[in-house]
Structure 1
Amino acid sequence: MFLKNAWYVAAWDTEVKHALHATTLLGQPIVLYRKTDGEAVALEDACPHRKLPLSMGRLHGDVVECGYHGLTFDGSGTCVKAACVSRVPQAAHVRSYPVEERYGLIWVWMGDPAKADRAKILDIPEFQDPHWGLNRGDSMTIECNYLFMTDNLLDPSHVAWVHQSTFGNSACESQPLQTQVNRDGVVVSRWLYDVEVAPFYTKYLKFEGRCDRLQYYEVRYPAHAIIKGVLTPAGTAGENAPVHEKAFLMDSYNFMTPVDESHTRYYWFQLRNFDADDENVSRQFASDVRRAFEEDRVILTAVHAGMARRTTPNIDLAIDSGPLRFRRGMEALIRLEQDAAGLKLSNEAHVHA
């Protein structure tokens, strides 16, 4: 169901303090905390004795004490104290996960720690660029499988019906889509020429009248999306046209973390090429984006429920090409990972035999 050898967002950096913070990623309970030097730690949230969540225990300095019998673990998952017995049991350890902080987010590697390559975290060169404004973003939990979210974020067409008061209008209904499959994910995009400006964008544009609009939807494995919005005065844009001096540019970064098969934690922030230092614009932008994403939440929750209880087959449409190709890519990666894990176990069993 899930690709484990990958980085997933576990929390905003402001959510994790010198206190125990329980969460769940890929169906695995995890406890996060900061050591006294500020370093973030991610441990399996289960004492090896009777599996009481460590998050129900106590944080003493840099170590976590289980609230049942006091077994105590450091940031590496090693049991450093077992006062209730004469010596620390050999099997008394918990799993420790690699952690990286970037873009105000705490990322956790859920697979083999030896394969945790920090270079695989999405690169965002504009993040520290003073010419780009930053909306610090938000998060929400959506009651749906994460693949319904990747479907949604590879589907520019849905804005015409789901986001009529925000991102969409009739111009988004029928223009053909272009799908590109890359090694790291899928891109679905299209240009809309000489169209009305959708409601979300009107208050932010530096030009008047109709526009040319690029819809660019990219999702990278395992579930990280880059949505680019480009609006320029009508007649000034195209595949190879230079960027107009008054163009509206927005890069929306979206990170979907599976909680389990039926719930997804959704994190996002946006970068923009205008009003970089205007906090009022940032607050308004954040509010407008949150409202639009609440529209998605309603639809995706209902889609998950509808698909779960369906009694007749669902159908696919031509507009589903991008989402379906992403799903096939994910299936292939998960299958390769599982085959490799199975081979490793087989070889280990052979050695021990």
Structure 2
Amino acid sequence: MTDSATFPLNRWYVAGFDWEVKDAPLGRTFLGRPVVLFRDAAGKIAALEDRCCHRALPLSCGRVEDGALRCGYHGLLFAADGQCIDVPGQGKIPTKARVAPYPVAVVDQVIWIWMAREVDGKAGGQPDCEPPRVPAHADPRYRFKGGAFHYQAPYQLIHDNLLDLSHVGYVHTKTIGGNARVHMEAPTNVAADGEHVRVVRQMKSSQPPATYTAAWPFKGLIDRWQEIDFHVSHLQIFTGAVDAGSESIDNPDRGGFHMRGFHGITPETATTSHYFWTMAASSHPDQPDNLDTVHRQTADTFEEDREIIEAQWNNMQRFGQPPMVDIHVDAGANRARRVIALLDERNAEYAPQ
């Protein structure tokens, strides 16, 4: 099994969305570990190491039969717990004919996989907590849609991007942007509590960006907010606006246009990443059918981010990653990096010598 000691372990990571796993097995790599997802006989999602114990073909090359996974090379059949339950042409099943299972759970339509420290070269350990919730997915005030991106870049560069929304005035001019200087000068508060980092930014009396005007009938200038909550495996970002001066944007029960984004950032390898996202939005009675517009513009926004981050990473490789200069907008990202660095140090204490 691939070493994953360079990532924070013993925690839930996002493996995808419930609607992605259908009749065929789905192979993905998480934290350097190849995994296959499929549905068992009860329709629940199961996850196994993506390697047949017979001749090492990826089990994702096989097929699902009555809730078990049939290898596409010699037909060994594996149950959701990883145990081989059939060897074609052979009555006795070898006791060692099994593959490692991974704990998985589906919460608010998000698939979570528990990535534990390896024990004797194999995945081990059971969850010691419940998976995170995504409240907006179950909130009747919102409707949501989502998708997935694959990045040719390390996962922490995506963290950096999401924790520093000052860039939107330069990168996202056609969607969620706005006046770039207003974004750079927005009052910003950064706080940290354990593994949680929170960034709050406000832009009062600003011009509404294209995504906002397409989804909500603002009267003119807006008071806009960005509230970012970073956790090691995911971020939840609450953005939106009200007509300027109409109500306090510090009020947790504020009205106006709401966009609640979920961002599941799961390392694939040290240099590639999965980005699983959804956007939940409120709607105005005069513009009730804004979901497709919000989803399309959000997808366009995140594609712009992907292009920037991959170009950034490529250039970092070209230049050998010399020291970079920090500015005021980097406070949130730097806090998050310190969280990851501390967890990596703790993880290294458990690594085999």
Query: In which range does the TM-score fall when normalised by the shorter chain?
Result: 0.7 to 0.9
Q: Do 2:189 and 2:200's aligned partners in 1 also have CA atoms closer than 8 Å?
A: yes
Structure 2 residue aligned with 1:201: 212
Measured against aligned partners, the alpha-carbon deviations of 1:142-181 in whole angstroms (never above 9, x if no partner) come to 2211100000010021112111222122221223422111
Residue pair 2:107, 2:133 contacting (<8 A) in 1 also: no
User: Residue 215 of structure 1 corresponds to which residue in structure 2?
Assistant: 226
1:128 equivalent to 2:138? Answer yes
Q: 1:240 to 1:217 in 2, by over 3 A?
A: closer
Determine if contact 1:191/1:238 at 8 Å carries over to the other structure: no
* Structural mapping, 1:79-228, within 5 Å: 79-83=84-88, 87-111=92-116, 114-117=125-128, 119=130, 121-130=131-140, 132-170=141-179, 171-222=182-233, 224-228=234-238
Paired letter, 1:331:
A
- In 2, Cα distance between equivalents of 1:61 and 1:175: 56
> For residue 174 of structure 2, what is the amino acid of its counterpart?
S
Whether 1:19 aligns to 2:24 is: yes
1:51 to 52, 56, 60: 56
Correspondence 1:42 to 2:52: no
Which residue of 2 is the match for residue 315 of structure 1? Answer: 325
How far the C-alpha of 1:34 sits from its partner, in A, is 0.8
The answer to whether the Cα contact below 8 Å between 1:25 and 1:259 also exists between their aligned partners in 2 is yes
Q: CA RMSD in A?
A: 2.5
Structure 1: segments with no counterpart, 5+ residues:
347-353
Aligned to 1:328: 338
The one-letter code of the counterpart of 1:286 is H
Contact 1:155 1:217 in 2 (8 A): no
* Unmatched runs of 5 consecutive residues or more in structure 2: 1-5, 118-123
Does the aligned pair in 2 maintain the 1:254–1:268 contact within 8 Å?
yes
Between 1:187-196 and 1:66-75, the stretch displaced more is 66-75
Tell me the distance in 2 between the aligned counterparts of 1:162 and 1:35: 43
Aligned-pair identity in percent equals 32
Rounded to whole Å, the distance in 2 between the matches of 1:296 and 1:162 is 7
Q: CA deviation at 1:44?
A: 0.3
**Residue 283 of structure 2 corresponds to which residue in structure 1?**
274
Match of 1:286 in 2: 295
How much does 1:5 deviate?
1.6
Query: Which residue number in structure 2 is paired with residue 78 of structure 1?
Result: 83
Q: Distance in 2 between matches of 1:13 and 1:239?
A: 34
- TM-score normalised to the size of structure 2? 0.87
**TM-aligned CA deviation for residue 316 of structure 1:** 2.3
Q: Would the aligned equivalents of 1:156 and 1:217 in 2 still touch at CA under 8 Å? A: no
Which residue number corresponds to residue 28 of structure 1? 33
- Hey, what's the Cα distance between the residues in 1 that align with 2:60 and 2:95? 22
The 2-side partners of 1:27 and 1:218 are apart by: 26
From the superposition, tell whether residues 29 and 241 of structure 1 become closer, same or farther in structure 2 (CA, over 3 Å): closer
Residues 254-298 of structure 1 show CA distances to partners (whole Å, capped at 9, x for unaligned) of 111211122222111122232499773111111111111111111
The answer to whether the Cα contact below 8 Å between 2:248 and 2:254 also exists between their aligned partners in 1 is no
TM-score, structure 1 normalization:
0.87
C-alpha distance in structure 2 between counterparts of 1:258 and 1:137, whole Å? 19
Mapped partners of 1:318, 1:336: distance in 2: 29
2:108 & 2:144 partners in 1: Cα distance?
A: 11
Give 3-state SS (helix, strand or coil) of 1:260's partner: coil
Instruction: Report the Cα distance in structure 2 between the residues aligned to 1:160 and 1:53, rounded to whole angstroms.
Output: 44
Alpha carbons of structure 1 residues 183 and 254: separation in structure 2 relative to 1, 3 Å:
same
Cα deviation digits, residues 47-106 of structure 1 (max 9, x gap): 123321112234332322333333332111112234566743343221101111122222
Counting matched residue pairs gives 339
8 Å CA contact 1:135, 1:283 repeated in 2: no
Matched residue of 1:309: which SS?
helix
